[in-house]
Structures are given as C-alpha cells and as structure tokens.
Structure 1
C-alpha cells in the first residue's frame, strides 16, 4: 500500500517559502550569507524538528516528508534548501540511534528550535570518498580525543552541533560517528564560502584540535560509522539532494513558463506560441515531473524498507542531477538575454544546480555503485 505522506510539513514549507524564503532568495545569493530569517521561520513553525520523532517533540517526519519539504524550499532558494537538508540529515542520524539521555536531549532541543546541526564528513585528502576519513579518535579515559580538519561543512559556524565522521580508536573497529558541540574547546571554523552557486550555504572548514568527546556522544557505538553511513546517512542525504535538485529544476521551469507566456513581440505574439519554444517547455515539464515522481517513489520504498530501495535511492540522485542540468540549460535558451541577466532567477537556478553532480556521492561514484548493484557486485 502506498504510504500517505504527512501534508502538514509540506504546507508549512510552502508558507515559509512564500512568506520568507522567496522574497529573500536574491539577497541571500547576492550577499553570500546564511539564510538566518528562514531558519527562524523553521523554528517558529516546528520545521526544524521535521525529522525528530514525535516522542521527543518533533514532527516525526520520514524520508518522504524530507524530500517533499526540500523540494518546495529549493523551488524558491537552493541555498536555503541545502542548509535545511544538512540540518535535517544530521537530526535523522541522531534519531536513528537515540541510545542515551544525552542524544535524546539533542532531539528535544532541535524540536524546540534551540539547535541547528550539520554533517562534518568531507576532508581535503579524501575528496568525494568521504567514507574513508583520515581523522582519528584517540581513546582517553571516558572520552575520545579528536584532531583533524573537515572541509565543506555546510552551515558552518551557524551550527550548534556537528556529526563528525572519524576513524575509531582501534583500526579493527572501523568508523565512528560522534556528536560534537560547535562551542566545544578546540572547535574552530575557518574561512568563508564564496562559490559560484549555493552562495548562502556557509560551507566552510572546521578545525578540531584536541576536542574531547564523551562516549555518550558516540552514535550507536564505536565502529558503527560505516553502517550508519549506508543505512542512515546515504538514503537521507541522497534522496534529499535529489529533492533539492528537482526543486531547482521546477523553479527554473516555472520561471521559464511564466516568461514564455508573458514575453510578447511587437506583433502581439507571445513566446509560448512559437512551436520551438513549445517543444522546449514540453521537454522541461516532462523532465521535472519524471524526476519528482521517481524520487518520491524511491523515498516511499526507503521508508517501507523495501529490498530494492537503495538502488532506487541512488538512481534518484543520478536522474535528478541529469534532469536539473538539462532543465536549467534549456531555461537559459528559452529566456535568452533575460535569462542570462539577473532580471530573472534562471541564472541563479543554473549556478545552484552545478553543485549537484560534484557533491558527494558524485555522479561518477553513483554510476559505479548503481552498476555494481545491478550486476550483483559488492560495493566494497
């Protein structure tokens, strides 16, 4: 039976998008700043706690809800959608293993609008292969000691906590995921984000110097990191990323459609009446709806624990990446000089969409994983 998605978070997201996110999207992009106003609205509406279980005061959202919400947000602003996604995935990781009162307190604080989180996975030395971190955990008494440097930490110094991926204290244990308070001694954020797109996501470097992490802050247990990556983080982030890209594609398509219907020549003919433009609009609408339908289906499979879910999850991001690039490029073609200028948001959608293919897991890695999966070959 098809799961019925919770309409409340989606309606809240539409309200916030219309009243707060869309009016500030140009400013966020131009000023290269974190979407503070949007996150205040997420607090006020309870959306900050979308992925927090209801027993801890949250909305009890599932992956289907996350996809729906980020798609709505991204249609207005890609930066805000990516910041919200990273917070929501970090929340989802804790919610998957709230094994002690400390971790449960984080969930309550998130639901109450008091904490924003993010993932700290990427490192310069490992690039897109974030699942092979160099940073190590050293066992010291009743805590772990962390030293290292994480790159491209979305939300950066706007966060209250980080989910840090490290090697465990013993090599044979594998990987750890630990919750680190951003205000802890030894945690330092460095630099500023100045990308061509997603300019408000505050994706900066985090340095960890002799940071003490109590064992109560280890998610699951020592060595659970790899399992958490592929069973919790990957489904949530890949689906969410696919949702963001589909929202960007929908925003570009809707802008293009509106422009084609209102742009008139001296003869009185509008752009949408030209057959070549109609072909472009048809292709764009099909690409957007195809990606959205596939992604939502994949999310429902993941929520239902279906055996083939992970294959569809991986396919969803690959499809979304390819479609958003096609749609935004076509939007530029249809809108012409207006699209190339900043008088329309088309150029912003195009810039924001370029991150989709290179953000881990990249399209190349996804193709490898999908190919191995369909061929029955282990990923590792």
Structure 2
C-alpha cells in the first residue's frame, strides 16, 4: 500500500466516514472532511514534490477517490474537482502561478474547482458560450456557469471561455472567488451527493489579468482533452467504484449480522448468496478496470484513452447495478436511513449523467474502435 493511500484510509476512517451520514442528511458541505484532507497534504496530491506537493499521478488519484467514496460520495466529488483544478494549474503554471496557487494548495490553504458547465452547452462542457473580452490589457468575463462543485467554499475556479481572438478556440483562466463581480447563487438540490455544494457561478464584468491565463491564448481545448478529461474521468470512475464498494460492504455486513427468529442468518439464504456474488464481481471488475486504465494513462500506453473513457462507463454502470442489488439484500432497512444503502443508491445515479455522459463516452469509444472520426 502506498503512503498516500494509507494516509487516505486513515483520514477516511477517522473523519470522513463518521461524518458521512450527517453530511447527506443535512445536505451540508463536508468542511471537516475537506479540512482534514487539506491538513494532511492531500490537497497537493497532484502538485509536484519540488513545490511542496505529494507528486502523485492519476493512479493515485483514482485510488484515493475510490477510498473516500466508499465512505462518502460527496467528499470524494469535492476532493476530485479540487484536484481537476489543481491539475490544470500544474500543467502550465508560470513561476508566479506556482507561488500564488500550487504551493498554498500543497499546504492545504487553497481549494479550487472547475467552472465549465453552462446551461446551453449540456454535456459538451468543452464548448463554452461565454467569451473572454479584451479590455485595457486585461480580459473581462461575463456569463453564468452551472454545477460548480465546491461552490462558494472554493478559493479559486478554473473558468473556460472562448478566446478573445477569433480562431484561437478556448482559454482557461484562474479566477479568485473574491474577485469583484464574481458571485455564487443557489443551493444544491440534487437527489444524491447531497453535500457537494454544486451551485451556479455568475461572472459580471470580472476582470482577470494576462497572468491568470493558463498557458497561452487558445490552449483551452488542449487542456480539456489532455489534462481535465483524463483527470476527471479517472477520478470520477474511482468515485463510482468506491460508491459500489461501500454499498456492497454495507450489504455484506447486513447479511452477516441479520438473524431470523429461528436462528437462521440472512447470509445463509441462497438468493442472498447469489446477490453477494454478483456484487463482489461487479465491484472488483469496476475497481480493477479503473486501476488498469489509470496505470495505462500513467505509462502513456497507445490505447490508454480508450481504457480511460471506458473506465467511467464501467464504474458508473456497476455502481448503479451494485447499489440496486444492495437494496434487495438490505430489504426494508435498506430503504430507510437505518443503513447507508439508500444514500449509496442515490449517489450512484450521478455518475452516468456527469459530462461526458455514459452515452457520449460510448459514442466516442464506438467511433474510436471502428476507426470513425470523433467529430
């Protein structure tokens, strides 16, 4: 076991798991859990060691998100989106950006997130409608972003916008959340991942300097597909594998401890044994597929992208399947909040509709294996 994973398991057992039920029931941001992760240095998971971080890779990220999500899906998503923002900064950070963002992130002092989704773009998060308008040597951002995980708890957001110069494509900017004209609004009212604070972001003549541009003008699309996509997809695949694992372990404990009046145990029933077998296979197939895809991405294998995309499909579909079976095993108690089964069931539904959705990924994968152009 790596030091990173051992540390994650310790924090999950001591802080994240005990708070998970309250985070869900009260629909509150998992502040204590996130603070514990930051204090332990895990905010700097993807920050290079020479800047004070852990120097982790995508295999570490997917393993960490799986571990956290087995206890609390909300915390896992908040942590993942912070790491996606960190990965963007780290990819092309200037010396000033290293000092202003990456070193504080490694110390657990800054929390980031992505601001990509827009109402009009749907699953095509890489094609924003808002534009960076040049003005007196700066850029001005106007518009609305949706589903900004971490929301007003974040210290900075990575905003994707159409480049100011025609034909350049898209840009990414690091925008501090205390910038004049930036505000958050709304509450997260989704059926699951209740504590992830995914709310709307409004940009009203927000001015950003050239020093807040990530890379050069027009680098946005490259960052989306080379940095954000693999980081998010493998991370959220880990989240869904973790949700499936948490549901399976809950159902297994219930089956082992539930006794009937005649002394028989629930686990002694053949139907329950079949269910346990199905869940075990589903969890392990998802987890192993994700870890294999992450290893391929780290090595730079030629077929890594196909496995990365399929990892989200595999994990999302297994999360839905396993949590449904867990409900059958846990019966009436699983349908109530006496067990976390219903929470895992609700949390599992999110993975399939997060962009890129299962359907979009299947289209891309199908085209890729058939040699058909993606676009």
Report the TM-score, using the length of structure 2 for normalisation: 0.99
Question: In structure 2, what is the equivalent of residue 270 of structure 1?
Answer: 265
Question: In structure 2, what is the equivalent of residue 115 of structure 1?
Answer: 110
Question: In structure 1, what is the equivalent of residue 369 of structure 2?
Answer: 374
Question: In structure 2, what is the equivalent of residue 7 of structure 1?
Answer: 2
d(CA) in 1 for partners of 2:114, 2:39 = 23
Please state whether the residue corresponding to 1:76 is helix, strand or coil: coil
**Where has structure 1 moved over 4 Å in runs of 4 or more?**
none
Q: Deviations over 1:46-80 (max 9, x none)?
A: 11111111011000010000001110000000000
d(CA) in 1 for partners of 2:126, 2:89 = 18
Question: In structure 2, what is the equivalent of residue 86 of structure 1?
Answer: 81
d(CA) in 1 for partners of 2:155, 2:100 = 13
Q: Deviations over 1:11-48 (max 9, x none)?
A: 11111111111111011001111111011101221111
Please state whether the residue corresponding to 1:172 is helix, strand or coil: coil
d(CA) in 2 for partners of 1:188, 1:239 = 30
d(CA) in 1 for partners of 2:368, 2:208 = 36
Write out aligned runs for 1:146-165 (5 A).
146-165=141-160
d(CA) in 2 for partners of 1:379, 1:183 = 39
How far the C-alpha of 1:104 sits from its partner, in A, is: 4.2
> Is 1:248 matched up with 2:254?
no
d(CA) in 2 for partners of 1:373, 1:323 = 23
Question: In structure 1, what is the equivalent of residue 199 of structure 2?
Answer: 204
d(CA) in 1 for partners of 2:99, 2:42 = 18
Question: In structure 2, what is the equivalent of residue 3 of structure 1?
Answer: none
How far the C-alpha of 1:105 sits from its partner, in A, is: 2.5
d(CA) in 1 for partners of 2:104, 2:373 = 39
> Is 1:50 matched up with 2:41?
no
Question: In structure 2, what is the equivalent of residue 19 of structure 1?
Answer: 14
Unaligned runs of at least 5 residues, structure 1: 1-5
Deviates more, 1:91-100 or 1:349-358: 91-100
How far the C-alpha of 1:100 sits from its partner, in A, is: 3.5
Pairs aligned (count):
375
Question: In structure 2, what is the equivalent of residue 222 of structure 1?
Answer: 217
Q: Is the 8 A contact 1:98 1:104 kept in 2?
A: no
Root mean square deviation of aligned Cα: 0.9
Q: Deviations over 1:84-110 (max 9, x none)?
A: 000011101111111332344210010
Question: In structure 1, what is the equivalent of residue 326 of structure 2?
Answer: 331
Write out aligned runs for 1:276-315 (5 A).
276-315=271-310
Report the TM-score, using the length of structure 1 for normalisation: 0.97
Q: Is the 8 A contact 2:110 2:155 kept in 1?
A: yes
Alignment match of 2:186 (pick from 183, 191, 205): 191
Please state whether the residue corresponding to 1:208 is helix, strand or coil: strand
Unaligned runs of at least 5 residues, structure 2: none
Please state whether the residue corresponding to 2:160 is helix, strand or coil: strand
Alignment match of 1:350 (pick from 338, 345, 349): 345
